[in-house]
């Protein structure tokens, strides 16, 4: 219903303002009426992901969202983030790759970025670099990927590639002082 959708949007607004408890207040009363709505479970899962100690609930809700809507790339990406938080790294890798395989996923750079961070944690620098690079190929305006890719090149011992990455970042974001500082 329109009322349900409006409350889901309000919950999203609270979540964007880093107010997950207020988001939860909007979502929990909808459980009976929105149980078959993928966006409801997505928003509830993302809310639980922001709350300390609620990773298992986040996983359950995000699994429900992806079950109801298998082409929901954002659901798979956030499920990957939840698996990372739960230290279930094999599952995280699997679902993040699933997110990247969805042609209609509007922000695949997020999944590529999260895979890069996952591989970095696992000390697989070359794979981490490949996915950070992919994040930038998917969206050359995705700022966090410039920082991550530059750090990865530095860790790998290729500072000239780090410098080139930061130079491209400065070209993409000429007003970003943090990028200029890193580049300098």
The sign of the CA dihedral 166, 102, 14, 21 is negative
Q: Report how far residue 8's alpha carbon sits from residue 27's, in angstroms, rounded to the nearest whole number.
A: 7
Q: What is the pLDDT of residue 75?
A: 97
The model's pLDDT over 125-152, given as tens digits with 9 standing for 90+, comes to 999 999 999 999 999 999 999 999 999 9
Model confidence, pTM: 0.89
Q: What's the confidence (pLDDT) of residue 1?
A: 82
pLDDT at 179: 82
Rounded Cα distance between 8 and 17, Å, is 14
**pLDDT at position 178, please?**
87
Q: Which pLDDT belongs to residue 56?
A: 97
Low-confidence stretches of the chain (pLDDT < 50) are: none
């Amino acid at each position: 219903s329109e009322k349900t959708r409006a409350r889901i949007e309000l919950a999203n607004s609270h979540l964007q303002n880093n107010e997950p408890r207020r988001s939860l207040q909007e979502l929990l009363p909808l459980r009976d009426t929105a149980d078959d709505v993928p966006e409801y479970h997505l928003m509830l899962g993302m809310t639980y992901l922001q709350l300390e100690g609620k990773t298992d609930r986040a996983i359950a809700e995000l699994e429900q969202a992806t079950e109801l809507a298998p082409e929901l790339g954002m659901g798979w990406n956030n499920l990957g983030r939840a698996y990372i938080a739960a230290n279930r790294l094999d599952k995280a890798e699997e679902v993040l790759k699933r997110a990247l395989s969805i042609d209609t996923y509007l922000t695949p750079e997020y999944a590529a970025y999260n895979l890069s961070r996952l591989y970095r944690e696992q000390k697989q620098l070359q794979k981490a670099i490949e996915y950070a690079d992919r994040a930038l190929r998917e969206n050359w305006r995705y700022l966090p990927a410039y920082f991550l890719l530059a750090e990865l090149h530095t860790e790998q011992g290729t500072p000239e590639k780090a410098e080139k990455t930061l130079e491209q970042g400065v070209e993409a974001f000429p007003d970003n002082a943090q990028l200029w500082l890193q580049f300098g």
